[in-house]
Amino acid sequence: MAEKYIARSSAIAARQLGDEMMVMSTADSTFFTLNEVASTIWQAADGCTPLSEIVAGKICQQFDVDWARAQDDAERFVDELSRHGILLLSDQPLTESPVPVSR
Amino acid sequence: MSLLAEMNQKALSLGLPLSVHLDITYRCNERCVHCYLDHDDHGEMTTAEITDVLTQLADAGVFFLSLSGGEVLMRRDFFEILERARQLLFNVKVKTNGVMIREKEAARLRQLGVEQVQISVYSHRPEVHDAITKLPGSLKRTIRAIRFLKSQGLKVTIANVLMAGNFSDQPGVIALSRELGVAYTLDPTITPKMDGDTSILNLRIPGAELRQVFHNADLVGNVEEFCAPPPAPGEDVMEGFPCSAGHTACYISPYGDVFPCVQFPLPSGNLRQQKFLDIWRHSPQLREVRSIRARDLPTCSTCAHVGTCTRCPGLAYMEGNMRGPSTTDCEKSFQRTGMPSANMLRQTGAGSAGPLIQIQCLS
C-alpha cells in the first residue's frame, strides 16, 4: 500500500478550543471540530512525515490504541478532510510549506 | 444546536474570547453622516504593536477576527497585518467601504484566505449613497470593488445601515445585492458619537418605518413567528446573559483600548499597558459585565420582552446605566410585536395603553 503524506492547507482557519480543534475552510466555510486524536494528526501534518509514522509514533503511543485500527481510522479521517480541501494529501512528500501550527 | 453554537457554548464555559473586533484605524476616506467615530489619528498602534496583539489573541484562543475601522485600507500596512492574522489562522472578516479595492487588492484578499468581506452600501442611487458618505463617486467605486471581489470568488456581504434619509431605497439595495450575487444585511441602529454627542440619533428611522422592516417577509422570513408576542420567560431566561459582549467577544480600538464590544464603550484596559489575557481575565469592568444576568436588570427583568428583546447592554450603558433599558431596543420590541416594553410603560407613568398610541402617532 502506498504511503500517504499530509499537510495542512493554507486555506483554513483553525484554533484549539479546550480538547477540540475548530477548523474552518475559508474556501467554502465548512466548519469542523476535531477531537483530541484527530487534532494530534492535524498538528503532525507537516507534509514530510508519513501518515503511518504519525499513527505509530503519536496516536498509538499517546492514546494506547491498536496500530491497524488507528491507521484505518486515520486514513478515513485524512480522506474526508482532503475532500474538503482542509488537508493536502499525496503519496509523495509535500514540498509546499505547511501553514504554521495552530494555537 | 449547530456546531458553531456548540463551540460558542464551550468557549463561554471555558471563559475564552472566541471573537474579537479589531479596528486598526479610525481614519477614513468617507465622512458618513451617521458615523460615530473621530477620524483623526490620536496615536494608532504601530504594525509591530498590532502584530504582537494578534499573537496574544491567537494564544488566548480567539478564532473569529473582524478587521475594521475607519477604513482598513487607509493603513499602508493593512495587508501586512492581514497576512500575519492569516498566518495565525484566524477566521478573518474584513469590513470596508471598498473604495480603495481594485483587482490587485481583491486578488490579495483572496490569496490570503479572507473568509468574508462586508461592504457598506446605503443606496442603489449615487445621489443618495454619495450624499451619506460625502464622497462623490463612492457608490460607483464601491460597486466596482464588489465586482472585483466577486470575480475572485470571495464571499461578500452588503451591509445596509437604514436611516430616515435612505429608508425608501432599501428595496433597491436588496435588488442591487441580488444583481451582484452577494448577501445582504440591514441594520437600523444608529449609535451616539464616541464623544457622547447624540445629534446623529436624529437620523434614525421613525418607529412606523421600523415596523415596516419587521413586518417585511423578504427581510425577516416568517413574519408571524418573528413578530409573535413574547412567551412568558422561564428561569433559564432570567439566568441568561444579554449577548456575547465581554463573555466570548470583545472590541479593541486602534489605540489598544479594550471594550466589551464596539457598541459598548466601557474602557476595560489598554494593550499598551497590559497583556490581553490579563485584561480579559481580570479587568473589573469585564467582570462586572459578565456578572449581570437578566434577573439583575431592574426594569427589563419585569418586561414581557425580556426573553426575546435584542437589548444591547452597550446602548443601555450609553444611556447611562448598563443594567438599564436600551430605549432603541424597547422601540424595536414594540414595533415588532405591538406590545409596549416595561420601560415604555414606566415612562408613560400610568401603564395604560392610551399614551402608547401617541408614541406611534408621533412617529
DSSP B270-328: ETTTS-HHHHHHH-HHHHHHHH--GGG-TTGGGSTTTTT----HHHHHHTT-TTS--HH
- Mean pLDDT taken over chain B: 92
pLDDT of residue A102 exceeding 80: no
Q: Is B22 helix (H, G, I), strand (E, B) or coil?
A: strand
Q: How far is A23 from chain B (nearest CA, A)?
A: 9
pLDDT of B361: 36
The set of residues, in sequence order, having a beta carbon less than 8 Å from that of A46 and lying 6+ positions away, is A7, A98
- Per the CB < 8 Å rule, is A13 touching B10? no
Which grid coordinates are listed for B269?
484596559
Q: Is the pLDDT of residue B349 over 80?
A: no
d(CA A57, CA A101) in angstroms, rounded, equals: 18
Residues of A in Cβ contact (< 8 Å) with B3: 31-33
A26 touches chain B (CB under 8 A): yes
Residues of B in contact with A14 (CB under 8 A): 89
Question: How many Å separate Cα B250 from the centre of its chain?
Answer: 12
Q: Which chain A residues have a beta carbon less than 8 Å from that of B54?
A: none
Fold of A5-90: Arc Repressor Mutant, subunit A (1.10.10)
A18 to B10: CB separation less than 8 angstroms, yes or no: yes
Cell of B206: 421613525
- Tell me phi and psi for residue B65, to 5 degrees: -125, 120
Could you tell me which chain A residue has the CA closest to the CA of B57? A103
pLDDT digits (tens, 9 = 90+) for A8-33: 998 899 999 998 999 999 888 889 99
Record: contact A20-B10, CB cut-off 8 A:
yes
Res B2: pLDDT: 86
pLDDT value of residue B235: 86
CA distance B230 to B348: 21
Residue tagged 408614541 (cell numbers): B359
CA–CA gap between residue B224 and residue B271 (Å, rounded): 46
Candidates A9, A16, A17: best to mutate against B (most CBs of B within 10 A) is: A17
- The three-state secondary structure class of A98 is coil
Contact A10/B114, CB-based, under 8 Å? no
Model confidence over B277-317: pLDDT tens digits? 999 999 999 999 999 999 999 999 999 999 999 999 999 99
Range 61-100 of A in CB contact (< 8 A) with B: 99-100
The pLDDT tens digits of the residues spanning A55-79 come to: 999 899 888 888 899 999 999 999 9
Q: How many helices (H) and strands (E) does chain A have?
A: 4, 6
Query: The C-alpha cell of B7 is what?
Result: 463551540
Q: Which residue of A has its CA nearest to B114?
A: A26
User: Nearest 5°: phi and psi at B131?
Assistant: -70, -30
CA gap B257, B232 in Å, rounded:
39
User: Hey, is the C-beta of A19 within 8 angstroms of any chain B C-beta?
Assistant: no
CB contact under 8 A, B91 and A16: no
CA B98 to chain A, closest CA, distance in angstroms equals 20
Q: How many CB atoms lie within 10 A of CB B334?
A: 23
Q: Which class for B82: exposed (0-12), middle (13-18), buried (19 or more C-beta within 10 A)?
A: buried
The rounded Cα B292 to chain-centroid distance in angstroms is 21
Residue of chain B whose alpha carbon sits nearest to that of A8? B89
pLDDT tens-digit series, residues B226-252: 999 998 888 888 988 878 999 999 999
Q: Which residues, other chains included, contact B18 with Cβ-Cβ below 8 Å and sequence gap of 6+?
A: A17, B7, B8, B11, B61, B62, B63, B64, B244, B248, B249
Residue A14, chain B, CB below 8 Å: the answer is yes
Q: A45: pLDDT confidence band, cut at 50, 70 and 90?
A: very high
B87 vs A14: CB contact, 8 Å cut-off? Answer: no
Chain B residues in contact with chain A using a Cβ-Cβ cutoff of 8 Å:
3-4, 6-7, 10-11, 14, 16, 18, 58-59, 61-63, 86-92, 113-115, 155
What is the average pLDDT score of chain A?
87
The closest CB to that of B63, out of A13, A29, A100, belongs to A13
If you average pLDDT over residues B1-5, what whole number do you get? 84
Q: With an 8 Å Cβ cutoff, is A43 touching chain B?
A: no
pLDDT score of A96 more than 80? no
Domain coordinates in residue numbering, chain A: 5-90
Q: Is there a contact between B113 and A26 if contact means CB atoms under 8 Å apart?
A: yes
Q: Which residue has the cell 431605497?
A: B169
Chain A residue numbers touching B155 (CB-CB < 8 A): 29
Q: How far is B90 from chain A (nearest CA, A)?
A: 5
Distance CA B252, CA B279 (A): 11
B91-142 pLDDT per residue, tens: 999 999 999 999 999 999 999 999 999 999 999 999 999 999 999 999 999 9
Find how far residue B38's CA is from the centre of its chain: 17
User: CA B298, CA B331: separation in Å to the nearest integer?
Assistant: 18
